Structure 1
């Protein structure tokens, strides 16, 4: 039987041991705290460093119509001010993450007791014990690895730093720092970037339900992703709303109403879908160069990926959308037609056979598997073989569009390919055989050198032994041995034989001088085929060249950036007008424009009128490279140039019919864009203005299209001259 004295001694001894254990543990905790505090596990930020906290921000790129079109960042973050933060965003965060935020000094002892009792002793989930301030510390400084001591060391660091932060910053400043730095998944940091990513809006415009979705996302950014797991996201959103109700931030009626609302995302991700990706990349390169010059002149260094700069560009997002839609709509129609032609000509079959003969061919290349494939509709999963995948991209049609204002070179629309994220190679700058789109350059050079638009050119097929028996032909294989053709008519109808005759009369050296002024690739002057467009030219170069005709002969370089400011709006760079480079005279440009108006109204570009019913004054020219390998079309007004190119990644892949001609393959893209611009009252007024060309210029291109050779032709011309003279005199008398 146990005596009372034994029980008493046992209790006393137990209390003694517990006291020793508690003192030992306390000493150990105190020693551990001192070791962390003094920097044994890594130096802690001091007060001065904490005062200078600045989170890196993404630089933002805006279109001319103030739409965000791109970001440059190490971390996708855009800071906001306290005034831009709605009350319901703050309330949602406090109710969900730290309801005693305004009562504690960085460490919530009640939360730690709750975690200790429920999570450790009772093994029940009770949430985390970290305050918003401690979470902020984790976001700013991360966590290091210390083996089995990792958790206690990192938690202790966060407690110490959080306490320091609370003595330096107000509660409002801490909330703002947290919301500007917290990760929301998908490489998105801060509430502003998250609002843009998931709802295509700004923080100050977030609704209560949208704010609840984003705050709910913080618990597990993947598990509660509204894009990946919408049902889980709704449940988490509703929990946040109920917590807001429990804290009195929302009434029961509000909560009951909002939890019934569906999840409505407006997902925007420039890394996945970049509506102006090719353009933004060019802006990034130019911005970097501009900032180097800013540093050289001011001594101040700015970083595109850190300093939250704002870059204002010339791109018109409305026009850009028109261009993207036109490319998608047209390629959807033309790709199946190309597929059919490649199959019917056995090109596809031969390609597969050649691939199977390769030394590195593997039978596994024929094994089908689920593969992520891009086509003009987007990215899809298809069950195909590696060889099928290679063929898919090999035979793919690509398109590029460049739209500028020739008055100053401002880029209004820029489509460098089908999809920047998947196919980043920039086709606006890619050099391809330019075909007949080059002809106006030759004809303008002739006018600059004294040739008249009333000149008549040979239209008789001829073989040139000195050029390897080269025998140029007109597109329709027709010629007129007994008749010459008018200069203006030959260009308006893109005739090859008269163009070659003009080249020989002009001389290659003079044409080379013009192309140098335009920035084209040089070519041997004894290469007459260049007259028909065998030169490789980029869409960027040809659009600038046509811009000279629209701009009275003056060439403007492309303008992409209007202004760059720092994050506070201080202007670092503003574009200043640069004097254009004169290439052609005003009269030459007017004459070429008048002829290219005929090309649109009567010649190779008539589809722009017949199919798209455009009424605006337009000049333009098509181009079809050899074997239909490249299709071109450029059209312009005094304030607008629209250039399009369509083709495959290699000239080996092409149409075998008129489907591959410039009028069929490239013109319809420009036609759809121009039609939409014409239908937009604001854009129509800005860009569809009439040409200011004198009657004398138009009268000079009203001569007979053809002229007979020999004596008969001479008398016929004499008769026509007298008849026209009499008509002019009668008009004068009437007037």
Structure 2
């Protein structure tokens, strides 16, 4: 009986095991069929693998050949294997797949090692995936779906790896891998990783640098050399040891590389980080516009984020660095002074300031709260409730307890700046700084329109010279009431009058009364037309106040307009792109041009030469003197400052023989301004130019030692040689004394009538545009 029971048990066990085996085989077969047919993720066939195309970042290069930025969804730039230092490949094989050239995509020895050590011996056996399997995972990412998906992904990647090996050569697989692998920080591929961590190309990497990067692949965050240098060194040294073990390097090379410190040259290029972020944003808009009607080889429109375009720009990274440093040092100093002012006299009310409330109601936070159904009273309570805030300051980020209202006040109290520099003949933009911090202040002040004040006067004086007025003609500095313009009475900044000034001295000293008289004598229409010919596309009203710079223009427009003075009267259109290539190296756009081909004279070369001389006087003896005295600039230099009503805007447009540049300083609103002499352009915008020229030095002849060129030089300079002023104040006072009358200060009775019109009151706003 016992024997029968034992026999029955064995039969049951065998049948059970057979059933389990059959069920397992059936389940495994179904599982593999599901994997094969893409149920757990895509399994591409050979034809699809032939068409592998990665998203590639478009790269931006400066005129001096430096990578200054990228546009991407995935930050990747492809590189050919021959452009990679072989030591990088050696490091990769040593640590990831030393038998890469001996297997067909699946390393059975490695799988057996993992099975024995991990499953049977419970030891850490490392990974068993080959480089080809990892490539399969990079190209066709896993889906998060639990244990079955994890197991399915392993088998799916084996299938794809075998197919990849049948389609591509080993070197092609290595190239694909190096172009797809992630190094963390949203960086893909060895090209971008080399640039991010060492600011090098893959061909320039050394042994210890190659080991650092390939060592990161196991855990990109943990072995990041910037964030975790100690862990990165340990991992790097392991890679170096493996390289020596497998004969890729000698023992001496290994020992030397292991002693090297982690010395990264970190170079982060994103939308807000890296050089020239405002320029790159303007460039992105321009390139996107150009590509709308440019089909690629496959007939689709080029995508700036995925098609790996190579964009060559006019920007010079050295000039850009000089500009950014100049803006930084000046704005730090100005902001510190302004902060002291607003501590005594706040710009904005502590609650319910209409300007701040308007910004709040346009914010994403307000709109989100409104969409969630919060009442206005609840939203108002949130607006004034302090929370822990991480805010930007010129001293770095600080944690403060601020309400949303206070945060808006904080950021709206920042003074802003714009600066650009361009070549006067080609129009090539060499530097572009649109603000003080692109991450927090996106608005580009190179393109924004503000009143330029007296920096617009050279346009007026150019029109006057074109109309036949001579630089050595004289005009009286007197108060005038303009009855045709609601009794408007423009005044000089210091209320000083008297004397007869030469036209060139009136410009150098920025005398408002003469500028307005000259504008009316020249004709307002002539000034409008001259401005248009010189490249000012903004609307110029037909009013005498334009002589004082009341028309709103952009820094880009006005700086380009000054290029006419250096270019024999021909203004240059600003150019930012020289060429665009697709990912295959084929030229899409060629922006090279004959510098004289499309430029028509806006003013005569004689007028241009006279204006250079007159603007040189403005530097040597006028409103720009501090560039000589304070900044010690001795080379040829011309330019003009401009300060608007109540110190709201400060401008300076300057020129050297090889460069035209402009700076602007102001607030996000006219309320954000100095209320004392700190607000003059000579204190705000002009120092940026001074720092810029000193930063630039004699580099590339930009701040050259040569003088300005004048046609028929001796004759031209003789025509411009005359006394600045014929002072008739002594004669007037003597006449008054002899006649027994007491000398009177200049005044205009009509200007003090109590019943002046509303229009006249508005025009009074523009009556004292400062130099």
- Do they superpose with TM above 0.5? yes
- Measured after TM superposition, the shift of residue 94 of structure 1 is 2.0
Q: Deviation digits for residues 378-429 of structure 1, max 9, x if unmatched?
A: 5454554544432321111111111001101110111111122332211100
1:453 and 1:488 in contact (8 A); partners too? yes
- How many angstroms does 1:367 deviate by? 5.6
Relative distance call for 1:657 and 1:296 in structure 2 (3 A) is same
2:565 matches 1:549: yes
Report the alpha carbon displacement of residue 468 of structure 1 after superposing the two structures with TM: 4.0
Paired residues in the alignment total: 706
Which one is further off, 374-383 or 229-238? Answer: 374-383
Could you tell me which residue of structure 2 aligns to residue 439 of structure 1?
457
Aligned to 2:196: 197
Question: In the TM superposition, what whole-angstrom CA distance separates every residue of 1:18-73 from its partner, at most 9, and x where no partner exists?
Answer: 45544542343234223332445566312121122222221211111100011122
Kept in 2: contact 1:678–1:688 (CA 8 A): no
SS of the residue aligned with 1:582? coil
Superimposed CA distance per residue, residues 661-715 of structure 1 (whole angstroms, 9 cap, x where no aligned partner): 1111111111121223333365445x955323423332233323333669979xx
Aligned-pair distance for 1:539? 0.3
The more displaced of 102-111 and 296-305 is 296-305
> Measured at CA, do residues 299 and 699 of structure 1 come closer, stay the same or move farther in structure 2, by a change above 3 Å?
farther
Alignment of 1:645-724 (within 5 A): 645-680=664-699, 682-685=701-704, 690-693=708-711, 694-707=713-726
**Aligned equivalent of 2:360:** none
Identify the residue that residue 581 of structure 1 maps to in structure 2. Answer: 600
- Cα separation, 2, equivalents of 1:613 and 1:692: 25
CA contact (8 A) 1:500 1:531 kept: yes
User: Do residues 479 (structure 1) and 497 (structure 2) align?
Assistant: yes
Q: Tell me if the contact between 1:402 and 1:643 (Cα under 8 Å) persists in the aligned partners.
A: yes
Task: Find the aligned partners of 1:570 and 1:197 in 2 and give their Cα distance.
Answer: 26
Partner of 2:682, secondary structure, is helix
Partner of 1:565: 581
Q: Structure 1 residue 533: deviation in Å?
A: 0.8
Q: Specify every segment of 5 or more residues in structure 1 that has no aligned partner in the other structure, as ranges.
A: 714-735
| Residue 556 of structure 1: how far off its partner (Å) | 1.4
Residues 274 and 421, structure 1, Cα contact 8 Å, conserved in 2: no
Distance 1:404 1:398 in 2: 21
Query: Would you say the 8 A contact 1:644–1:669 is kept in 2?
Result: yes
Instruction: Give yes or no for the alignment of 1:521 onto 2:538.
Output: yes
**CA gap 1:702/1:380 in 2 versus in 1, 3 angstroms:** same
Task: Decide whether aligned partners of structure 1 residues 264 and 375 sit closer, same or farther in structure 2, where only a CA change above 3 A counts.
Answer: same
Identify which of 540, 544, 548 aligns with 1:532. 548
TM-score of the superposed pair, with normalisation by structure 2: 0.85
Say whether residues 1:448 and 2:466 are aligned partners.
Answer: yes
Correspondence for 1:160 = 159
Distance 1:580 1:549, change over 3 A: same
Match of 1:509 among 525, 535, 544: 525
What secondary structure sits across from 1:581 in the alignment?
Answer: coil
Instruction: Provide the C-alpha distance between the structure 2 equivalents of 1:321 and 1:296, rounded to a whole number of angstroms.
Output: 35
Q: Which residue of 1 aligns with 2:187?
A: 188
SS of alignment partner, residue 608 of structure 1: helix
SS across alignment from 1:563: strand
**Residue in 1 aligned with 2:107?**
108
Contact 1:599 1:620 in 2 (8 A): yes
1:725 aligned partner = none
- Offset at 1:165? 0.8
Look up the match of 1:312.
312
Q: 1:325 to 1:395 in 2, by over 3 A?
A: same
1:399 aligns to what SS in structure 2?
Answer: strand
Question: Is the CA contact 2:331–2:436 (under 8 Å) kept in the aligned structure 1?
Answer: no
Counterpart of 2:75?
76
- Residue 351 of structure 1 aligns with which residue? 349
Classify 1:132/1:274 alpha carbon distance in 2 versus 1 (closer, same or farther; 3 Å).
Answer: same
* Kept in 2: contact 1:551–1:638 (CA 8 A): no
Residue 297 and residue 440 in structure 1: after superposition, are their counterparts in 2 closer, same or farther (change >3 A)? farther
> Is 1:462 the equivalent of 2:461?
no
Do the aligned residues in 1 keep the contact of 2:198 with 2:265 (CA within 8 Å)? yes
CA distance in 2, matches of 1:74, 1:258: 35
Mark the runs of 5 or more structure 2 residues left unpaired by the alignment: 358-375, 733-771
Compare 126-135 and 364-373 and name the one that shifted more.
364-373
Q: By how many angstroms is 1:112 displaced?
A: 3.0
Q: In the alignment, is the contact (CA less than 8 A) between 2:481 and 2:487 conserved in 1?
A: yes
Which 10-residue stretch deviates more, 465-474 or 413-422? 465-474
